[in-house]
Amino acid sequence: MNSIQQLFQKKEKNVLSIYFTSGYPNLKDTIEVISQLEKSGVDFIEVGLPYSDPLADGPTIQDSSQVALQNGINLDIIFEQLLSIKNTNKTPLVLMGYLNQMLKYGEEKFCQKIVDCGIDTVILPDLPMIEFENHYKALFEKYGITNVFLITPHTSEERIRKIDSYTNAFIYVVASASITGAKGDISNNQVAYFERIKNMNLQSKLIIGFGISDKQTFTTACNYANGTIIGSAFIKHLGNNGVERIDNFIKPIIS
């Protein structure tokens, strides 16, 4: 059983996950951000691997990635940082990056490093299902790593069912046709889409992301899924307040 499955055994509803960009706002902030998020009561943490050309991310996360890269962050430093908190951090970590980072680093080496850091779940938004089936399923299974797939309002039922069969963590329900950080309320169309997915009775847990930014959107989304991921809104908070006041962002959402 992986770390996310264990989490869901303990808590099935109102799960809050936070995405942050490693190496942002400062090179060495990764450990402190994780520690503060854990103390604030976040259920699992998505560790972003900054990338030069992030296609699925909006301006907020892209800018934070550029800052992190300018700070000198790279995969070796990230793995070193994560390894240093392996025994103290109790909150499940999920890695989110782009396929080219893993390709260049070396697929086996990348997987081994993740496992060494105690991580068993990855999100690679530009890894499509067909490539996963043909090239990565066996590799990830070898290392006990689960790949989280994204679904959108346009993903067919057939694909969702297939994704469901491949996932041992959760399905990332992209709230709308958007890049990350698109802000606004949850519309009736989105609610209809969430209900459709909920009614499919999938074996996987559902986490809604993209456009979730505050207590209101968190609460609404949690009516239709096991929890949500907040990214851009948190990155903005980090950018404005640094690592000291993470509590001020998290507490109003989960209280």
Give the interface with another protein as residue ranges (CB under 8 A).
Answer: 51-53, 55-56, 58, 62, 66, 69, 74-76, 98-105, 125-128, 130-131, 149-152, 154-155, 159, 174, 177-179, 182
Min CB(213)–another protein separation in Å: 17
Of 178, 180, 175, the residue nearest 60 (C-alpha): 180
Q: How far is the CB of 244 from another protein (least distance, A)?
A: 29
Alpha carbon distance 165, 241 (integer Å): 41
Residue tagged 């948190």 (tokens):
234
Q: Which is nearer to another protein, 69 or 191 (CB)?
A: 69
Smallest separation (angstroms) from another protein to the CB of 59: 8
- Across 210-221, b (16+ Cβ under 10 Å) vs e yields bbbbeeebbebb
Evaluate the omega torsion of the peptide bond into residue 125 and state whether it is cis, within 30 degrees of 0: no
Catalogue the active-site residues.
Answer: 46, 57
Q: Given CA atoms 1, 115, 163, 212 in this order, what sign does their dihedral have? A: positive
3-state helix, strand, coil in the chain (%, to 5): 50, 15, 35
Cβ proximity to another protein: between 151 and 207 the closer is 151
Q: Give the span between the Cα atoms of 93 and 101, in whole angstroms.
A: 18
Output 32 or 107, the one with its CB closest to another protein: 107
**Closer to another protein by Cβ: residue 75 or 238:** 75
